[in-house]
Amino acid sequence: MRGPLFGFTLLLATALAPSLHGQTVKIGWIDSNSVLSQYSGAQEARQQMEQSLASYQAEIEQMNNDFQSAMASFQQQQATMTAEARQNRQEELQSQQRVLQQRVAELEQQASTRQAEVFQPVMTEINAVIETIRVEGNYAMILDVASQAILSADPALDLTQEVLRRLQEAAPDSDGSR
């Protein structure tokens, strides 16, 4: 536990050491989890993702139900099947299971791609606001407590609400105007 945190602290101290001669280093922090949960743009992106995931989940459930029904039917009928018919049906079921697994993998990839598409503009907007605050406030850096690299911080250095305020100001109103 001490290793990575100690290493990060040492790296931070080393990086900031030249700046400490004659000037104060200003560091702020945000809680990105709070920003993502409270910012309306992120909430809209999350709703879009939930809709996409619901359609993916419905397709997977339907395919899984079809497979389970076919498997149950086979298990009930296998005692009365010839060895050749049983072998053919098992191969069909294995093929159906492979198709299901491939489709699940495809949908997981689509979900990952969709998440990147939906959240990339939101993250770009959030990062732009954070960078603007950093420059305007002369912060050497702004850290994220959600990364768990910060063990203790002065609440006065918390810029989360400022980030949220600026994001909401920049967001279009519900009628599409700013």
Q: What is the CATH number of the domain that holds 156?
A: 3.30.910.20
The pair of three-digit structure tokens given for residue 21, joined into one six-digit string: 């001669």
Distances (CA, A) of 146 to 15, 31, 61, 140: 22, 6, 34, 19
Amino acid found at 7? G
CB atoms within 10 A of CB 49: 16
Q: Is residue 63 part of a domain?
A: yes
Q: Is residue 112 part of a domain?
A: yes
Q: Is residue 126 part of a domain?
A: yes
Rg (CA), the chain: 26
Structural domains of the chain, count: 1
Q: Is residue 116 part of a domain?
A: yes
pLDDT of residue 22: 59
pLDDT of residue 175: 53
Q: Is residue 156 part of a domain?
A: yes
pLDDT of residue 56: 93
The pair of three-digit structure tokens given for residue 24, joined into one six-digit string: 């104060």
Tens of pLDDT along 13-54? 445 545 445 578 899 999 999 999 999 999 999 999 999 899
Tens of pLDDT along 67-111? 999 999 999 999 999 999 999 999 999 999 999 999 999 999 999
Tens of pLDDT along 104-163? 999 999 999 999 999 999 999 999 999 999 999 999 999 999 988 777 888 888 999 999
Q: Is residue 31 part of a domain?
A: yes
Q: Is residue 10 part of a domain?
A: no
**Do 132 and 103 form a contact (C-beta atoms < 8 A)?**
no
Domain span at residue 99?
15-170
Q: Is residue 1 part of a domain?
A: no
